[in-house]
Amino acid sequence: MLTEHTYQKLPENWDSKIKECCDKENPDDPRGCDCCYDDWVEELKEVKVKYSAVEEKLNQLKKELSLVSERRDKLKKWYDELTIANELARKICHDLEVLLCQAGKVGTNTYLTVKAIRKLYCMVRDFYMQIDKIKTIYDKLMNCIKCLNNPALAPGQGIMKCLEEYGKKLDVVIATRNDLIKMLMEVIKIACRINKNIEQDFGLSTVITEWKDAFHCEIACDDTTGGSSNQGQAQKYQSKGASQQPQQQQPQQQEETSCLGVCDLIPMLNFPICKDPYYACVDEQYKKDKAKAEELAKEVLEESKKKESLLACKTSHEAAIKEVDPKVICKA
């Protein structure tokens, strides 16, 4: 029994298997006897990881904020331009209304002018018919006097002189007939042409009415009732963002889509612009981007605070570790 439990010398490598299970110390980063140093090293590693994560998140937020802010500014500028275009279109409607009113007055005046000129033509025609009758009577009278061959009725003397002067004046009046009739006919022609070119059923008034219909001037911007065409346009813009998303991209279906769609650079605007769904869509997207930019700005501020806090913590740990670093102390 004594020989069974006698002391035996252990081999030199008896603890090799135990050493394999233990942590091997890094010669470039030796552990010190100070427990604070070891804890600070571990904390520094954790702080660096957190700092890198916060820094990356902050960079991503800044890029997203820049993108959203740029789109927000473009939408605001585009919305303002659409508003100016709408105001100009409304002004055109006002001018067209005034022009249509004036055209109606001119049309009425030309119509009455034509009627008055026609009456004047009848009066002038009757006047010259009477002159023709007087001329006929005058010619018969002068023929009778010549047939009488009375010495008392010699030409150029007495009553004959008066009759001859009367005849000359009568010829002058008759000579004006053709020119006057031509001028009256020309006036009637011009007045009728103006009346036909401005008449409400055709001509300028019809053209102005067509322009008013094209601009939908009868629809007010504060009118809550909209046409079926505008409702159809609204449905198109509302469904555009979702319909143009590929079905293969399942993870992106949860993202908020814009009523403007993926890429719609050439919108087909309908008048009035203030009632067009695209106008409301731009305003809606601008408000969304504005709210999103404000939210991102707050997140950037919070992440910046975290970054600065972690940076201060990282800097203080590095300074503390440097002071108690075993490699530095041993060299000293």
CA distances from residue 71 to 67, 80, 157, 290 in whole angstroms, order as listed: 6, 14, 106, 9
* DSSP class per residue in 218-261: TS-TT-----HHHHHHHHHHHHHHHHTS-TT--GGGGSPPPTT-
Check whether 76 has a pLDDT greater than 90: yes
Q: What is the pLDDT of residue 95?
A: 94
Q: Is the pLDDT at 285 greater than 80, yes or no? A: yes
Query: Which of the four pLDDT bands, split at 50, 70 and 90, describes residue 27?
Result: low
**300 DSSP assignment:** H
pLDDT band at 242 (very low <50, low <70, confident <90, very high): very low
Contact indicator for 280, 259 with CB cutoff of 8 Å: no
Rounded-to-10 torsion of CA 225, 229, 230, 234: 130
Structure token pair of residue 34: 């100070």
Domain map (residue ranges) of the chain: 35-218+269-331
Of the listed ranges 9-13, 38-42, 96-100, 256-260, the one predicted with least confidence: 256-260
First to last CA, the chain: 57
Between residues 14 and 31, the one the model is more confident about: 14
Q: Which CATH entry fits the domain spanning 35-218+269-331: 1.10.3860, 1.10.287, 1.10.10, 1.10.30?
A: 1.10.287
State the pLDDT confidence band at 229, using cuts at 50, 70 and 90: very low
Question: Which residues are CB-contacts of 234 (< 8 A; sequence separation ≥ 6)?
Answer: 277, 280
Which amino acid appears at position 179 of this protein? D
